[in-house]
Structure 1
């Protein structure tokens, strides 16, 4: 089955990073840091001071197109897991989810899993882009995240 087949609605990538879980999680949970490791070159900027700390929080991100997205945090465990549903400002999320899961394998070794899940996506105009999201695209962000986390 092709990765961009519309029947594949959960795409993920996994890799180990030679850095502790806290450093990686900080780069993910701070929206202002996300554009520095976004492998899809889709994120432009986020205002500082939006560090995610709980389910129910909303952080705001500006895309490279200039569009603004509100990201509704639906899963959160400090240092282990974070997931959000993006939406247009003031709108209900259309149902696609971005998730990061971190598993410490040692003091300076972490297994990271990045998942894009569009099982519940109800916006027809977004489905073509969703179906085009591949594991390789997710891995691009993970590789950039690892390079940034491991150098600091």
Structure 2
């Protein structure tokens, strides 16, 4: 686990091949079940993530946004079975700079080291930084996401 002024990273070895984990992560339909923060309610569109530049929309809820809201998530990193990165923004707005990064590193045929990073280093909007107290998602909530991913592939 690593927490700095600009990001939080957690990791865990999961007893599953990287391709099985990536299968779950690249389908936004699974993201609500994986979300340890409780903000993600459902996906608005369930197209599988297959490349950088794709945008997927999620239905969310959180007091920091006054209740229910939607986000557009722009895929900024994609390497099948290895990497999935997206920047999140309120729907119909450009990403303000925070991103989610899932890294998968095969340990052997049946286990994978998974790293999940929540990074807000690129957020430069002073008003947003004053409104949102980063990190909005805790290390424990990220660990809950890793645990949920392990449960999804085991189930």
TM-score (norm 1): 0.88
Structure 2 counterpart of 1:88, from 90, 96, 101: 90
Contact 1:75 1:82 in 2 (8 A): yes
Say which is worse superposed, 9-18 or 83-92, in terms of deviation.
Answer: 83-92
Distance 1:30 1:36, change over 3 A: same
Matched, 1:139 2:136: no
State the 1:136 CA deviation.
Answer: 1.8
Structure 2: any 5+ residue segments left out of the alignment? 62-66
Runs of 4+ in 1 over 3 A off after TM superposition: none
TM-score (norm 2): 0.87
Greater fraction of residues in strand: 2
Distance 1:126 1:53, change over 3 A: farther
Contact 2:45 2:56 in 1 (8 A): no
Task: Name 2:132's counterpart in structure 1.
Answer: 127
Q: Give the CA RMSD over aligned residues.
A: 1.6
Aligned pair count reads 145
